Chain A
Amino acid sequence: MKTAQVLKRWLVHPWVGLLLRIYLGGLFIYASMYKINYPGEFAETIASYQLLPFWAVNVTALIMPWVELVIGVLLVLGVRTKAAAALVGGMLALFSLVILVTLLRGIPIGCGCFTSVEDPLGWGTLGRDLLWLAMALQVYFSPSALQLEGRMFKSLSEVER
């Protein structure tokens, strides 16, 4: 009981929130870099999942890395954290679902999460994504320290008062 309370307090601690936020943000920024630079390869990866119609593959390959970059930056800075965390969570949930489906279908492809040349998709990949999803939930629901937006508006309201 006591351990659970301590754990809960730790889980919702703002500094933990900050740590997870920066970690997730950095992760997404890092993940977006290669994909942005090589959209053709990422399009191949998406196509290999065989879940999108052929006409939507290129558009998705172009836009998705930029979404990752923008929300990663927002998370690191702590601006529009709620929306960014929600988007991160949503994307991770989508990725987990896609991986699950692909694993069930038995399509032998690489993950393509960071670069196009990776180990083949496996259950570990799904577990990793689910862990990240849990982190995103923490960031969404718990307050985190050093949010640029919150800090800025808080100090402005102090000035106003």
Chain B
Amino acid sequence: MAPSKSSLRAAFERASRNQEELDKRVFHLKTLHETACELSGLIQPLKIMESFLLTVMGVFGITRGLAFLINTRTLQGYITCRGLTSSEVQTCEHNLVDIAKHYLLGGEPSPLCSQAEVISCGPGSNPGPLPSGTALLVKQMVVEDYAVLAAFGHRFSGQPLGDVDLSTLLNLTDTLANALSHNLFNRQIQNLSASLMRQSGDLQDALRQAGQARENLDRQVFHLQTLYEITAELSPVVATEKLLETFLLMVIGTFGAGQGIALLCDRQSRKVCCVHRGSFAVREWTLDEAEKILYRGFQATPERRLDPMSVNFIVDPQAVFPESEIGFAVQTAALFTVDDSLLGLVALGATLGKPGLGAEERELLRGLTTNGMAFLKNARAFETIQALNDDLQRINKDLRQTITDLTEARHQIRLLELAKSRLKQMIQREIERAGRLRSVDVLLVLLTSTVLALVFNYSSPNGIPILPEAVFQAQVPGVDVSTAQQMLSRGEAVLVDARPQELFEQKHLPDAINLPAALFDILYPMKLGRMLKSDQAVLVYGRTFSKRYDEDVAQKLLQRHDNIKLIEGDMKAWEAKGLPVKP
């Protein structure tokens, strides 16, 4: 059976409706495709949302539209709109939080989900915080914390959107959400990348700083090590010159200097100590020269101060200390002041591979010099102590000697005291003795006189015998008075009176011849020699209590005659017989 016309028409109409439907779908799909392509090319979210609004309003012939991208956590977001008055836009911006709370967080009419959703549609629906005239609301979660909300007004045609239109709108919203989501992700990735870049830079910086710190640390360790070593090297040394030498060796070794000189000027003891290392013409320094060069150095220091235990670097040392004076080209020089009277200079020649010392090396040199100064000060103190000690020992020795001397002196004083007391006693005794008569003195005078008399008499040519000679001479024979008288009367004898003339003249026997012994040699020839006959005897008389004159004269006569006799009893016996005497 052939199809009827009506059925054909109907079929044609159906076909044309289908065609229309298909065209519409193709148009929507094309729109979707174009929109997707356009949105994916945009970078900024506002542009994306603006493009979305234009597309939707163009496709569906809508008069006005509004789109929000809202952070659900901070309740802040972007707004874009088309066909709204500026006051409506301001209200929307003002009510953003309320809008977000009302449509996105409140769950009215349905909770937020990742699928696009039409919230309200139709002219009678409640616009809420949104501007009046809002006919359609669409919302969708973009990513976590972000949601998109789109509001649209009425169509120009006034007809509501059909199912296909709604579906297309939802698809478009989905595309928007995707584009935004993509955009947000991109942005997040960019942020992350930027942050990563920044962190990487920071890390690089940190690494560089760590490297520098390590370098500093190494340098400081080296400096400390050097300081420790110089301390260890200097600590056992006590002599100033040896200290200075060790110090200079350490400094030269530390900085790798070719030449070096250290000069120490002690103004108190007026001594100069100079040590040097390296090959150059060495010279001797006098105190004046050393003081002059130190003064020149002092004038070339920036501070021009001489604080105790300070180190001052000399500016332009090559100009201050010419090579002709020092012996080498000075690269670095520092003046150091131990105290007011102890100054010094340390000068270094060219260092290996470097024009001069850097700031840190200068600080190290300062540290080394300060350390050296401390030891120099100690050495000086030690020398002072040594000198004091020597002094003390000498004084001690003197003191000991003094004590010995004093002890000896005390001993002597004691002896002298003893002598003094003895002398005192003696003097006392002598004074007492001088004032009175003592029999001892008399005896002493007599004894002394006797001894002197005997000694003198023994040695004198006029000496006499102690006892009379008569005592020792042979006895002269005697006759009695009667016989004598008879002999005289018969003329047989001559009578001789031996006594001195005075006694003879006083009294003598008649016819007696006076012949004293003292005048015998003169008187004998005159008075007796001539008258005496050879047969006559000589009768001698005359003696006293004190002297036997008769015996003395008889002895003399016996040398000339044999017949010599003494009258026994002398004149007394004569007178006793009654015989006469003269005168």
Interface residues, chain A, CB within 8 Å of chain B? 36-40, 43-44, 46-55, 57-59, 61-63, 65-67, 69-71, 74, 80-84, 86-87, 107-109, 140, 147, 149-150, 153-154, 156-157, 160
Complex alpha-carbon distance, A55 and B168, angstroms: 206
Binary per-residue interface labels of chain B (419-460) against chain A in the complex, 1 for a CB within 8 Å, 0 otherwise: 010011001101100111110011011101110111011001
Residues of B within 8 A of A80 (CB): 434, 441, 445
Complex alpha-carbon distance, A74 and B420, angstroms: 28
Residues of B within 8 A of A37 (CB): 460, 462
Is the C-beta of B463 less than 8 angstroms from some C-beta in chain A?
A: yes
Known: A67-B449, A160-B420. A47 touches B464 (CB 8 A): no
CB distance from B461 to the nearest CB of A (A): 10
Counting chain B CB atoms within 10 Å of each CB, the highest count among A62, A74, A149, A150 belongs to A62
Residue of A nearest to B551 (CB): A54
Of A36, A87, A149, which is within 8 A of B442 by CB?
A87
Known: A48-B500, A50-B545, A156-B427. A58 touches B464 (CB 8 A): yes
CB within 8 Å of A: which of B485-516?
Answer: 500, 502-503, 505-506
Do B436 and A82 have beta carbons less than 8 Å apart? Answer: yes
Do A55 and B462 have beta carbons less than 8 Å apart? Answer: no
Known: A58-B466, A66-B452, A160-B420. A53 touches B546 (CB 8 A): yes
| A interface majority secondary structure | helix
Known: A36-B456, A58-B464. A83 touches B547 (CB 8 A): no
Is the C-beta of B548 less than 8 angstroms from some C-beta in chain A?
A: yes
Interface size grouping (class) on chain B: 35 or more
Do B445 and A71 have beta carbons less than 8 Å apart? Answer: yes
Residue of A nearest to B435 (CB): A82
Residues of A within 8 A of B545 (CB): 50-54
Of A70, A71, A153, which is within 8 A of B427 by CB?
A153
Do B456 and A83 have beta carbons less than 8 Å apart? Answer: no
**Could you list 4 further interchain pairs (A-B, Cβ under 8 angstroms) beyond the known A38-B462, A53-B546, A83-B445?**
A37-B460, A39-B462, A54-B546, A153-B430
Complex alpha-carbon distance, A22 and B449, angstroms: 20
Known: A58-B468, A63-B453. A150 touches B442 (CB 8 A): no
Do B445 and A87 have beta carbons less than 8 Å apart? Answer: yes
Complex alpha-carbon distance, A150 and B435, angstroms: 8
Do A109 and B438 have beta carbons less than 8 Å apart? Answer: no
Is the C-beta of B59 less than 8 angstroms from some C-beta in chain A?
A: no
Known: A50-B544, A82-B435. A62 touches B445 (CB 8 A): no
Residues of A within 8 A of B453 (CB): 36, 62-63, 65-66
Residue of B nearest to A86 (CB): B437
Do A149 and B546 have beta carbons less than 8 Å apart? Answer: no
14 contacts between A and B (CB under 8 A): A37-B460, A40-B464, A47-B546, A51-B545, A52-B545, A54-B544, A61-B464, A62-B464, A63-B453, A70-B452, A82-B436, A149-B434, A157-B427, A157-B428
